Amino acid sequence: MSYENIFDYLTRTFLYLCNYGIISILFCQVLFCTFILFDINFSVHFFICSWYNNAIKQENTYRKGDFYMTLGDKIRKYRTLKGLTQAQLGSMVKLTGDRIRQYENDVRKPKDGKLFEIADALDVNPSTLAEPDFDDPISVMHVLFELEDIYGLHFEKVGDNYQLAFSKGEYSSANWIIEGLAAWVKKRDELQPDINDSNSTIADKKNDYIRWKARYPYNFAEEITSNFALVQKFNEDASSLLPSGRQPITRFSEFYRSLLALEDAGVKFTISVDEIIGKRSAAFYIELDYIMNSSDEIKKLYTGFRQCWYDMKEIGIEIHESPVPVNGNMNILLYSDNIQLIALFHAHIRHLEEKKSPMYEAEIEDTLQIFNVPIKEYA
Using the 3D structure, point to which of 121, 151, 181 is the last residue of a domain: 151
| pTM exceeds 0.85 for this model | no
Do 172 and 282 belong to one domain? no
pLDDT at 214: 77
Q: Is residue 228 part of a domain?
A: no
In sequence order, the β-bridge partners of residue 331 are: 287, 324
Is residue 181 predicted with pLDDT exceeding 90?
Answer: no
Q: Are residues 126 and 52 in the same domain?
A: no
Does 314 fall in a domain?
Answer: yes
Q: Which residues pair with 161 in a beta bridge?
A: 158
∠ Cα 210 17 29 (to 5°): 45
**Residues 254, 374 within the same domain:** yes
- Show which of 105, 128, 151 is a domain's final residue: 151
Least confident of 188-192, 202-206, 269-273, 323-327: 323-327
Residue 119 shares a structural domain with residue 203? no
In a domain, 360, yes or no: yes
d(CA 309, CA 286): 14
Name the residue range of residue 134's domain.
Answer: 69-151
Q: What angle do CA 26, 179, 321 make, to 5 degrees?
A: 130
What is residue 7's predicted lDDT score, i.e. its pLDDT?
36
Quick one: angle between helices 252-264 and 339-353, nearest 10? 30
Do 367 and 291 lie in a common domain?
A: yes
What are 274-315's pLDDT values in tens digits?
A: 888 888 999 999 999 999 999 999 999 999 999 999 999 999
Count Cβ neighbours within 10 Å for each residue of 156-171 and write b for 16 or more, e otherwise.
eeeeeeeeeebeeeeb
**pLDDT given for residue 105 in this prediction:** 93
Q: How confident is residue 174, by pLDDT bands cut at 50, 70 and 90?
A: low
Query: Do residues 147 and 159 share a domain?
Result: no
Whether residue 168 is found in the same domain as residue 277: no
Is residue 180 located within the same domain as residue 99?
no
- Rounded alpha-carbon distances, angstroms, from residue 295 to 284, 290, 301, 329: 20, 10, 10, 20
Instruction: Read off φ and ψ for residue 163, nearest 5 degrees.
Output: -115, 140
Beta strands in the chain (DSSP E): 24-25, 30-31, 36-39, 43-46, 154-158, 161-165, 270-276, 279-287, 320-326, 329-336
> Is residue 232, in this structure, part of any structural domain at all?
no
- CA 28-34-37 angle, to 5 degrees, is 155
> Is 247 a residue whose pLDDT tops 70?
yes
Residues 166 and 117 in one domain: no
pLDDT averaged over the chain? 79
Residue 231 lies in a domain: no
Position 234 in a domain: no
Q: Give the closest residue to 50 by CA, choosing from 22, 27, 20, 26.
A: 22
Q: Using pLDDT thresholds of 50, 70 and 90, give the confidence band for residue 5.
A: very low
In this structure, are 177 and 112 located in the same domain?
no
Q: Which of 216, 243, 270, 250 lies closest to 27, judged by CA?
A: 216
* Same-domain status, 169 and 140: no
**Would 303 be classed as within a structural domain?**
yes
Q: Say yes or no: 248 and 370 in one domain.
A: yes
Average pLDDT rounded to a whole number, residues 362-376: 95
Q: For residue 322, is it within any domain?
A: yes
Our count of domains for the chain comes to 4
DSSP E strands in 47-105: the ranges are: none
Last residue of a domain, one of 122, 151, 180: 151
What b/e readout covers 245-263, taking b as 16+ CB neighbours within 10 angstroms?
Answer: eeeebebbbbbbbbbbebb
